Structures are given as structure tokens and as C-alpha cells.
Structure 1
Amino acid sequence: MNKKTLLLTLVLLLSFIQFGYSPFEEGMFPLSELHKLDLKKAGLKIDQNEIYNPNGTSLVDALVNVGGCTGSFISNEGLIITNHHCAFSAVQQASTPEHDYLNNGFVANLHEQEIEAKGLTCRITDSYEDVSDKVLGAVADISDPSSRIKLINDVMKNVAAEAEQKDPSIQAEVSEMFIGKTYVLFRYKTIQDVRLVYVPNRQIGEFGGETDNWVWPRHTGDFSFMRAYVSPDGKPAKYSKSNVPYRPKKFLKVNAEGTNEEDFVFILGYPGRTFRHRPAQFIEYQQKFVLPYTSDLFEFQNNIMESAGKKNKITELKLATRIKRNANVLKNYRGKLQGLKGIDLITQKQQEDAALAQFINGDVEEKAKYGNLMSDIDNLYKLINGDAKRDLWLNQIYSSSNLLVVSKNINMFKNALTAQPAAQKQAFFDQNAARLKQILSNAYENYETEVDNKILKRMLTDAAAFSPNQKINAVNKITAKASSNESAIENYINSSFEISRLKDPEYVLNNLLKSPKNLNEYNDGLMLFERDIAQQLTELKTEKDRRDGLLNKLMGDYVSIKEKFLKKDFIPDANSTLRLTYGYVRGYWPADATYMKPYTTIKGILEKGSSGNPDFNYPSQIKNLWEAKDFGAFVKKDLNDVPVSFLYNMDTTGGNSGSPIMNASGELVGVNFDRAYGATINDYAWNESYSRSIGVDIRYVLWVASKIDKADFLLKEIGIKMSTKN
């Protein structure tokens, strides 16, 4: 054992002894579960109530859900820090060829210069309440799966509506914590006016591009700053120049000294979805169908969009957000595929399920209640697998074609208009046309005829090859009498796009939607095609509802009996509700003889930049400052450099993007943005040996803000003390 390895081993051993620590299990802990933790033993220095205190102000009050990501308030003037990629769509919408904020970055030195972050809102968790008894009590005597799931959904909506009636200032939502088992009412405050304050150059905020995405070592400055605004009376309001910065109940203190290896850290955030309490059949469905189909489709879409974007700047900007989202998902899904196969999770789950079945059959009472559980799950998934290609296609068709989204919304509006009494048609049209125009305008924002044409052709070609029991009726109408599917689809696409006037936003918004008469008289092949898809979805809904209802009951029973079998309570899967996870700044061994250190530095940016890969281009100021050793107060002395990104063994997933990484004193020391490639399977399984998350170090954030973009006003606002202590 060399000295470095011995030192690391001793550090780990001492930390275990100091904290009375034993290797902890996975955990994205809901607020309701925090009282079960002893974070003091793990290394927390503040009182645990300072993290979450339902009777007072705590760190939780500084957290926001922004654009599907997490953010945190870091000043008393509503300043929010989150990821660069979380602000990406808003920056893209604000950009033009003349003001290319997406690539060049943006700095607002004054409040008046801040730009509206279109499409983004801030949602703050106000309180929560377990309503499982109310939801499940309503279906206690319901055995029909379709009726059961419908009633559960209705009760969830009604409980949320009642909460909003009692307090009109909140938005309420009932979240299913354990499928078919536990339900919690969350009350949220929503701030509607969010503005861009500071976004770094894309070569910083997206350094490494898709080459480095989901990969360690990372050198990405994935951060951005926004600000929340409210009306002068302090109430949420839509964007207005008269609005004022929001004053949060709590904001996080930023600690410019950052972290050291093996420091205790924790995250509060809104992780999206995990599926760890599911049987082997669910994992097999993901591995065999969902992951490969989606990643292959998104790769094709991106190739088409990137090719179109090379032709002119406007198209490039228009498609940038969609390309980025697709690229992120496809690489994540391929990482999941590699990880699932690497640890052979299907076999692991099959062994667990076999042991569970043996436990059930070995107990008379449990067998009477759960004796058919495992076979019922297996039979249900045989049905799901049998329709997998068709169902996945139907799930993706609208997100694949903007014109089908346009067709869908126009068809729905026409149907609703037709259903109105003659005397009320005009009034209905006048009341709802503006909203429809806004929906269609959003659909047209990233529409390109060539892209839509080629992607829709791919979708139709895929569907034409499905087996008869998975047929897509709308596609069959196109290919039924043709000698060649390929030529039939080619002719249909060409003629439909040539004839359709839906590809002209000006015509649709200002002519077609000018009157009920204009709307009723218009139709074309794309609208008829969409109508056939909608009809098939309606026909399939009854069976889908039956399966969903059955799955809800089976999964509730599966978790209940498995908890009894293992003699433990599970942590609910992530579901976009506020969670805490904790751990340590720590490297790992992804492969034999390969140790990954927990910090990267600016030096690594320069090294990657010499590769010739355009993903590793960076602003020239970075090299000039590094060569001059101009690190200011943000140097990590044992590295003699500014740390850029760092690793930790916390349990995170999608939605944790932008989550504040806090130290033992509850101070912000970084911003979470990614996971290592081996940890992409965190949605299905977590293990301390390979699950590592990645954050941008606060020292790099502050160094870039101060040295590169001269945004010292931000450092002043967040109260940075320019100490050189490390």
C-alpha cells in the first residue's frame, strides 16, 4: 500500500470513528423523514432543526424549484443560483443573432438591465401534509382497477383543490410517495416573474459539451444567476417593470473557502423520478424497450437538427434547447443501459423477487393475502411488453413533430367549438382563441420545416414496421394499399407538407384563427393524421386505465410485503418533491487501478483545450489568468489552483440540477449539476462504490464572476469576504 492510499484509508477510518459512522444506505429523504436521521453523527455542525423547522425559518425556506431544476436564494434581494443548463432555454429565447447571450453570456450590472427569463417560474415549498388515509380510504372497497385509479386521481385533485380554496395564495399538489400506498399534500408558493442576472460564456457554462457530459473528470462552470420579482405589495405577479425583488424568508450564506476531501456535505433539492422499489419486470422493460428506443430516436433527431442548424444562426439558436435536452437524455439513457448490464440488475432483482415469493409462500397469512402477487405482476408486464413498441411510439410522436402539436391543439379547439350551442360559439371562440394562439406560438418557436419533415418520416417508417398487434392506425391508412411502405410514406410526407398551411405561423395565427368560420372550413392531411392518432389513444385509454389501476394496487402491495420481509421501512422514490441527501467529498475507483480524485482545476481546462476538440474551447482570459497565477482569494492551496468541479457520494438524480451543496455549517460551497457515468443508474439502484455526483465548486463560480466577467457586484451582494484562508 503506497503512502497516498494509506493516508486515504486512515482518513476514512478516522472519520468513521469520529462520527460513529457506519456505511449509510441510499437516501433521498423527504422532509417527513428527517427526524429519523442523526446528522450530527454524520458530521453536521448546526442544529438539525436549522435544516427543516416546520414551526420556524430554516434552510428549506431558501430552496426553489425553477424550470424543473433546483435553485437557492443567496441574498435578501431574491438572487438565485442554479445551473447554466437550467437557464439555457430562457437564455436561448432571449438571444438573437445580434445579441447572442447563449454563446457570449450575459451580465446585468443593474436591476434595470436584468432580462425576463421567459418560461421560468420559482416554486417554493410552503408546507406538506400526509393525506394517505383520505386518498386510500376512498378506494378501500373498490376492486375494479380502472375505477380505483380514476377515484384515486379524482381524490388527489379534490384534496389539492380544497387546499387552494382555503388559501388562495398557494398552489397545492398531492404527490404519490409510494405508488398505491402513501400520498402527501404539498402546498407551494409560485413566483411568476424571474429574470436573468448573470450567465457565463457558453464555453465556460457548457465546457466539455457532450464529450464530457455524464463524465468525470469535469471542468464545467455549470452555473447561472437569476432573480425573483414580485409586485410592490409582495405578492406573486407576472413580469412587470414595476415589480420589485422578492425578499425570501431565508437565503443561504455563501462560503468562498469551499471544501476539502472527506468534508461532510448535504444537498436540498427536488430530485425528479427514481424507481428503486420496483420488481425485476420493470427493470427489464426499461432495459429492453424504453432506454434503447428513446436514446436511438433522440440521436437521430439531433443529427437532423444539428445539420439544419449549421445552415444559419437563427436556426441554430432556435433548435439549441431541444438539441441540448435530447443529448442529455440519450447519453444518460446509454449510461443507464451500460450500468444496468454492468451490474446485471435484472438478475439481482429476480433473485430478490424469488426470495420475496418464498417468504410469502412460507407464511400462511401472507400467502392468503399476497399469494398471487408475484404472478399477477409477471402477467401484467407480459401485456405491457407486448405493446411496448406501439406505446413508446405514441408517447414520442407529439414531441417529435411540432406540426402535429399544432394540429392536435387546433383539432381539440375545433372539437370544443363544435360542441358549443350555436348561440355560444362566437363567445367561446373569443374567450379561448388568445390562449390557443399562445400555445401555438410556443410550438412554432423551435419549428423548422425540414426538421419536422425528416423526423416525422422516421416516425412513420418505424411504425410501418410494427407487428400487426401493435399497429398504428394512422400509419396503416398511409401504407395499406401501397406496394412499398417507403414510397408511400415519402409521398405522404412530401404532399402533406407541401399542401399544409400549418407550417406558416403567420397564416395560422392571423387568418385561420381570425374567426370560427375560417377555422371550421380548414382541414388538411396533417390534421386528419393527428385525428386518427388521437382516436387510437382514446380507444386504448380504457385498457391503459385498467393496467394503471392494477399496477397501482400491485406496487403498493409489493412495497408493503417487501418492507415486512426485509424488516425495514423504505425511503420513498423521488417524485420531484423536496428531499435531503448527505455524504462526503470523496473520489472513487470506477475501474481496476483507476482512482478518480475528487477535485479538478483550471489546469485541466487548459489540458483539454489542447486536444483540438471544439467542445474544449475556452475563453482566452482563462489561460492568461492561470499563467499569471491570478487566483485571488479562490485558490485551493494544496492544489495551487482554483478548483473547478468536485465529487461527492450523495444520492442525486434529475431535478437535483442546481441544488445547493452545503457544508457542515449549512453554507453553500457548490452547485450540483451532474453524475459520473456509472451513476446514471441511480434512478434504479444506488451504491456508494460507484454512485458519485458532480458539482461546480463555489470558488470557480466566484473566480469566473470576478476575474472573467467583472461581476463583482454579485460578490458584494452575496457578502463574500475576500479571505485567502483555505
Structure 2
Amino acid sequence: MRLKLFVIVVLSICLQSVSADEGMWLLGNLQKNKQAKRVMKELGLKMPVSKLYDPKKPCLADAVVSFGGFCSGVVVSEDGLVFTNHHCGFSSIQQHSSVEHDYLKDGFVAHTLQEELPNPELYVRFLLRTEDVTKRVLAATKDANTESERKVAIDSMMVVISDEVSKNDSTLTGVVDAYYAGNEFWLSVYRDFNDVRLVFAPPSSVGKFGWDTDNWMWPRHTGDFSVFRIYANKENDPADYSPENVPYCPEYVAPISLDGYKEGSFCMTLGYPGSTERYLSSYGIEEMVNGMNQAMIDVRGVKQTIWKREMDRRPDIRIKYASKYDESSNYWKNSIGTNKAIRHLKVLEKKREAEAALRDWIQAHPTEREKLLRLFSNLELGYSQRRETNRALAYFGESFINGPELVQVALEILNFDFEGEEKQVISRMKKLLEKYENLDLSIDKEVFAAMLKEYQIKVDKRYLPAMYAQIDTLYQGNIQTYVDSLYATSLVTTPKGLKRFLEKDTTYNLIEDPAIALSIDLIVKYYEMNQSISDASEQIEQAERLFNAAMRRMYADRNFYPDANSTMRLSFGSVAGYSPFDGATYDYYTTVKGISEKVREHAGDIDFAIQPELLSLFSSRDFGRYANEKGDMSVCFISNNDITGGNSGSAMFNAKGELLGLAFDGNWEAMSSDIVFEPELQRCIGVDIRYVLFIIEKYGKATNLIRELKIDR
């Protein structure tokens, strides 16, 4: 019976032999991964695996970029055009928008290079090569006696190895990342391009069709794409923005297929997934559910309600708040779905079964028993010791650090290095001034008051910062009066206070400004709370690392992909529909017919409003060469590829390495996928490349862009 249970556990959780569609594989050791190579071929891969990644020759991975460090993108022309998601370019589109030129609402088209819009804070990053540096990094820990000493030694060596790259070539950036909970370390060498210009954006009625209602949902009808261009100097090297720069000539250009896909077609994604916790213990998952996820659900729900109300009332506020609302609501809904899926799919129960199997394995092996005798007791004790404080810290971060923008501005000023390198000082100052430009004080006051009330309700009084005592004594417990007074007396509500400080105005003491003083109190409280759980956190970090290593030893005959950590990864699988619940079956693609249906179903809802000329274009059925085999216009499709945040904008390729679409979302029923992969349910949602080109050519009239592309049919 025990053997039978062990087999069931192995087959039912993420810590088992990887299925065809599960996995975020490192490219650096792909050639050695015989299992992954074999499965890709069985699923239908028609190109040599060596053509996917080769640090010495042009390859498919050379067309894939990290977009801004938070998304992915793909190079599609010899003149450096990059396709990414609309929500990835959303902030840049918003920065160029105004009530007079509302590119968020109406879209943007550059018909010439001169019309393309620069984005000085945006960059794209190309991966040149990876290298396993585990032995070198861990060698630095030989004299470390505690977890904190180990961490310091590792961090120092990671910096040394990273710095060696840029010292040898100033155009390169080296980054050492930890894998498998700190058991392995790899160096990635990148080349960054800092002159990236906006070329095309569809109207939000296309790029954000359905907004929060449809976010993370299938069936989907969102044309989630935007187009940028990379610029370089005349030697084709990275350069800061200059009118003299020219379009970048890339190493490799992704070809585009108009042939589409069928159910079961091979599909692979290349991109930069952000973060997963597939190997986290059940104790860590439970903490995540009740801490960070719940705090995000509760606090952001309050803040976003205020923002959305005002955004719907005023066009200027909609433009100012669109990008930050989009970012906030995306992870808010993700947290709701994740917690729901964890409970519905019994993720904790599955993890605990796996841990029971690991306990038995440890007991059955004397050498393991000697090393890991206290593993589970240390995990349980560590998490229990920090449970309440860690939960309070989650609410603290959401309520204050990530809450009122006045606090964010004040913290930015406090942490500003005015004596730093000129280029970085100018860059950070621009970002700070942009915060002011997109800040409405009346809205922020309402948010601040709401955050103060929400935090007070959710945490024990011992976690209240000093301002609560001030509210009680000086303002008779009236939170609104306190907030009104704070905003009325602080000079950092506008750039005026910052200007007086920079000009060394002796009549103005920055540290005594009420908003700055409040932020200092918050920092002190945050530090105090973190320090109180530092020993427990150190114990947890060590135990999770040992837990991860033990799981890999127990299944030593299997290939383990590491958790996502914003490095380039390959995922592969098949185009496939799914059954979300008994009696329901979802097809693997959607068409523009569904757009019209949703417009009618949600009549009067601004999130589903669409321009009449677009509806007319769809109803004309003049889809040309972009029509699918039935003569319809496909919009989105799904595959069982692995996906998480950061994968947004990832290239979705067919068996020959041709672009099928751009990944932009996961699905609601499998929102626990960052923790456990559910092969029957998990799907990657992508926008069909044919719909992208249709909107560019037929709606945007940007035939100049279509001519740049390498289109195969």
C-alpha cells in the first residue's frame, strides 16, 4: 500500500517526472537534456534543437528579448522591430498620451521612422550566453558557519563574477542568478539596448478588450500586442537615445507563419518568466496564501475601487492612472485566482503527501537521516515563529510602501542618491517627476485614509506604526482629519519642496517635512518588524534549500527544471483545448465573432466598448491572407505550454521556429500554476500573429511595417 501511495504521489504533483508540456527549461544545458529533446521531437519539433540556442552561431533565441526587465518580446525585422504585448508597452503608451492625443484610447501609428516615439527609460536585453558558475560561487562559502554568513559570501562572489563581464566589455552586462533555492548558480551575459521607440499601438478596445473582467479568463478576445523598434549607433552598438541613432540590425529575425495551427500542433515559447515556487514546501505555500496573496486581495481591492471610480469619471485621470491601475489590478486578480485554485485543486494536500513521501525516503536512508533529521521540524518551527509578523508585513507593504503615492514619493526622495553618477541621477529624477505628473492629490488623500483604516482592521495593534498614536492623541482618532492636515502641510506633495531642498533653502528642513518624517517612522517600523523575524527567516531559507536538494536527490533519475527567475526559458507543448469542469469544453481558439458577441452582452460597459469602424471591419470579413482555413479571423489561441508572469510578450513558435503568436496570459482554472503545474487544466493564452498583422495593416494602415516582416506561408 505504501508503494502504491508513493507512485500516486509521484504522478500527481509537480515534483515528478516532467510531462510534455510542463517545464521552464534552461537553454544552457538543453543539449544535455536528452529527455526534453526526445519529447520535443515526439511532439513534432521539425528543427534541430541546436538551432534553438547556440552561443556561437545565430539561433532562434537571438530573436527573443527581455523587454524592460518585466516582459518579453521578439525581433521580427532586419530593422529591429520588436513585437511584445500591449500591456507590456502600456506604460510607454501612457507616457506619450494626453487628452488631446489619447494613444491609450485611440492607438498610435508611426508611418515613418521620424514619427516613432522615444522612451528613454525603456530598454531591451539580448542573451548572449550562459555559464554554470556553481562551483565557483559555493567555494566562497567554505568558511561560512551560519546562513547569514553563507548569504554574504555568495552575494559577494555573485557581484565579483558579474562585474568581470562588464570590465572585459563595457557593452555587456553579467548577471549571476540563484537556482534550485540557492543550490546552483548560473551566469547570464547580456547586451542591452537603451534606445527603444514606440512604433504601433492598437486602441485599448483591442489591446485591453475585456480589461479586468476578461483578465486571466478563457475564451479570450484581446489583441494584446504593441510594436517597438530598437535603435543603435551607426556601428550597430548600444547607445543612449540620440536623433543620430539608426535602426538596429539584429543577429536573427523571427520568421512569421500565416499557416496557423490545429489541435495538437507543436508549440513552444521562448521568453523571460518572472517567478515560480514549484518546489516550495507546504508551509511556505500556506504562508503565501494567508499573507502576501490575501493582503494584495484586501488592500488593492480598496485602492483600485477609488482609482477606477475616478478614472471612469474623468479622461485626464484615466490617462494618469491607467498604467498603475493596470499593473496593480493584474496581480490583484492573480492573487484571487491563485488562492481560489490552491483550495479548489487541493494543492496543499498534494504538497503534504509529497512531503510525507520524502520523510519516508529520508528515514529509509541512514546518510540522509543523519543530515536531515531536523528538516521538517525546522521548517514548521521557522514558519510558525514568523507567521503573524510576516502577515502584518504583507499588509504593511501593500497599505503603505505600495499604497499612497505621497509615501512612495517621500521614500524615493529619502533613498535618492543626489551625489551619484550624473546619468543615473537624471534618470531617477525624471522618474520622480513623472510620479508627480501622474498624481492627483485629492484621490491620493482618499486612498491614504482608506489604507490607514484597512491596515488597522487587518493587523494586531502591536504592528501599528507611530502615526496611529498621533492620530489618536492629536486628531481624536479622526483619520481623515490627520490625512487632510498631512497633505496641507507637507511641501513634497508637489516638486516645490524637492526644489527648495536641492537649492539648499535654509528655511526648509526636508527631514522635518511631515510626509518625510512619516516615511522615516514607517521605515523604522518596517525594519523593526523584519528584525524580529530575522532568525526565523534565516532558518527557513536554509531549510527550504535543503528541502529542494533532498527532493532532487530522491528523484535523482529525473530532470528537474529550476523555478523561474526572470532568465530566458524554453517551454514546449501542444495547441490544445480543455475541459474546465464537468460538462464544459473550451475550444483551442477564438474568432472576431466572439468580440461582437461580448460587445452585445456587455452593452454599456466601457471595458467592452469598441470603435464602430472596428466592428464594421470585422463584419466585412475582408480578412485577406490573414484568414484562418475556415475564412474566419482568429484572435487568440491556447496551448499547454508553461507560463507565468514575465512571459508576457513571449514568442510562441511552431515546429519550424516560425512565429505563431505572442503569449500574454494564463487561465483562471489553473491560477495556482506558479506553485504546481496542472497538466489537464493549465493553458497559455496567446494572441494570434495573424490578428496582430490584420490590425496593423487593415486598421492601422501601416503597410510600411508589414513590408519589413519575414512572412512565410
Pair in the same fold by TM > 0.5: yes
The match for 2:514 is 525
Question: Which residues of 2 match residues 480-495 of structure 1 at below 5 A?
Answer: 481=473, 485=477, 487=478, 489-495=479-485
Q: Point out where structure 1 has 5 or more consecutive residues left out of the alignment.
A: 1-20, 418-426
Question: Which residues of 2 match residues 62-211 of structure 1 at below 5 A?
Answer: 62-67=63-68, 68-211=70-213
The match for 2:620 is 628
The question of 1:669 aligning with 2:660 is answered: yes
Secondary structure of the residue aligned to 1:225 is strand
CA apart distance, 1:710: 1.0
CA apart distance, 1:398: 2.0
Question: Which residues of 2 match residues 533-572 of structure 1 at below 5 A?
Answer: 533-540=522-529, 542=531, 545-567=534-556, 568-572=558-562
Paired residues of 2:125 and 2:193 also in contact (CA < 8 A): yes
The question of 1:33 aligning with 2:33 is answered: no
Distance 1:94 1:490 in 2: 35
The match for 2:670 is 679
Equivalent position amino acid for 2:606 in 1: P
Paired residues of 1:390 and 1:470 also in contact (CA < 8 A): no
Paired residues of 1:671 and 1:697 also in contact (CA < 8 A): yes
Equivalent position amino acid for 1:410 in 2: I
Query: TM-score, normalised to structure 1's length?
Result: 0.90
The question of 1:589 aligning with 2:579 is answered: yes
CA displacement, residues 556-601 of structure 1 (integer Å, 9 cap, x when unaligned): 2111111222333421000000000001111000011111000111
Equivalent position amino acid for 2:452 in 1: L
Distance 1:462 1:354 in 2: 39
Distance 2:156 2:446 in 1: 40
Paired residues of 2:382 and 2:537 also in contact (CA < 8 A): no
Paired residues of 1:258 and 1:670 also in contact (CA < 8 A): no
CA displacement, residues 365-410 of structure 1 (integer Å, 9 cap, x when unaligned): 1111001011101111112312123211333322212221222233
Paired residues of 2:270 and 2:569 also in contact (CA < 8 A): yes
The question of 1:438 aligning with 2:430 is answered: yes
Paired residues of 2:577 and 2:586 also in contact (CA < 8 A): yes
Paired residues of 2:299 and 2:395 also in contact (CA < 8 A): no
Distance 2:427 2:576 in 1: 50
The match for 1:11 is none
CA apart distance, 1:358: 2.2
Paired residues of 2:393 and 2:529 also in contact (CA < 8 A): no
Paired residues of 2:84 and 2:648 also in contact (CA < 8 A): yes
The match for 1:411 is 414
Q: Point out where structure 2 has 5 or more consecutive residues left out of the alignment.
A: 1-16
Paired residues of 1:148 and 1:549 also in contact (CA < 8 A): no
Cα gap change, 1:62/1:483 in structure 2, threshold over 3 Å: closer, same or farther? Answer: closer
Q: Which residue among 686, 704, 711 is the counterpart of 2:695?
A: 704
Cα gap change, 1:215/1:577 in structure 2, threshold over 3 Å: closer, same or farther? Answer: same
Distance 1:254 1:637 in 2: 17
CA apart distance, 1:447: 1.5
Secondary structure of the residue aligned to 2:711 is coil
The match for 1:15 is none
Distance 2:476 2:576 in 1: 58
Paired residues of 1:102 and 1:202 also in contact (CA < 8 A): yes
The match for 1:348 is 350
The match for 2:61 is 60
Equivalent position amino acid for 2:494 in 1: D
Question: Which residues of 2 match residues 713-724 of structure 1 at below 5 A?
Answer: 713-720=704-711
Equivalent position amino acid for 2:624 in 1: G
Secondary structure of the residue aligned to 1:494 is helix
CA apart distance, 1:670: 0.7
CA displacement, residues 500-544 of structure 1 (integer Å, 9 cap, x when unaligned): 121122x13433321263654662222111111222334455455
After superposing the two structures, state which structure 1 stretch, 100-109 or 305-314, moved more: 305-314
Equivalent position amino acid for 1:123 in 2: R
Equivalent position amino acid for 2:107 in 1: G
After superposing the two structures, state which structure 1 stretch, 554-563 or 302-311, moved more: 302-311
Distance 2:507 2:58 in 1: 56
CA apart distance, 1:364: 1.8
Question: Which residues of 2 match residues 216-615 of structure 1 at below 5 A?
Answer: 216-396=218-398, 397-412=400-415, 437-465=429-457, 470-479=462-471, 481=473, 485=477, 487=478, 489-505=479-495, 507-515=496-504, 517=506, 520=509, 523-540=512-529, 542=531, 545-567=534-556, 568-611=558-601, 612=603, 613-615=605-607
Distance 2:685 2:422 in 1: 50
Paired residues of 2:571 and 2:642 also in contact (CA < 8 A): yes
After superposing the two structures, state which structure 1 stretch, 46-55 or 585-594, moved more: 46-55
Secondary structure of the residue aligned to 1:54 is coil
Secondary structure of the residue aligned to 1:315 is helix
Matched residue count: 687
Distance 1:121 1:163 in 2: 19
The match for 2:45 is 44
Distance 2:249 2:317 in 1: 39
Paired residues of 2:653 and 2:661 also in contact (CA < 8 A): yes
CA apart distance, 1:667: 0.4
Paired residues of 1:164 and 1:170 also in contact (CA < 8 A): yes
Distance 1:280 1:126 in 2: 37
Distance 1:106 1:558 in 2: 50
CA apart distance, 1:706: 1.6
Paired residues of 1:146 and 1:542 also in contact (CA < 8 A): no
Paired residues of 1:146 and 1:545 also in contact (CA < 8 A): no
Equivalent position amino acid for 2:583 in 1: A
Cα gap change, 1:181/1:445 in structure 2, threshold over 3 Å: closer, same or farther? Answer: farther
Percentage identity across paired residues of the two chains:
31
Distance 2:504 2:42 in 1: 68
Cα gap change, 1:538/1:332 in structure 2, threshold over 3 Å: closer, same or farther? Answer: closer
Cα gap change, 1:605/1:118 in structure 2, threshold over 3 Å: closer, same or farther? Answer: farther
The match for 1:14 is none
The match for 2:639 is 648
After superposing the two structures, state which structure 1 stretch, 99-108 or 355-364, moved more: 355-364
CA apart distance, 1:435: 6.1
Secondary structure of the residue aligned to 1:400 is coil
CA apart distance, 1:167: 2.1
CA displacement, residues 275-309 of structure 1 (integer Å, 9 cap, x when unaligned): 01011011111222221210221121111112233
Query: TM-score, normalised to structure 2's length?
Result: 0.92
CA displacement, residues 232-255 of structure 1 (integer Å, 9 cap, x when unaligned): 222212211111111110110011
CA apart distance, 1:215: 0.7
Cα gap change, 1:208/1:378 in structure 2, threshold over 3 Å: closer, same or farther? Answer: same
CA displacement, residues 624-669 of structure 1 (integer Å, 9 cap, x when unaligned): 233332111111123x311110011001111110111100000001
Secondary structure of the residue aligned to 1:511 is helix
The match for 1:13 is none
Equivalent position amino acid for 1:658 in 2: G
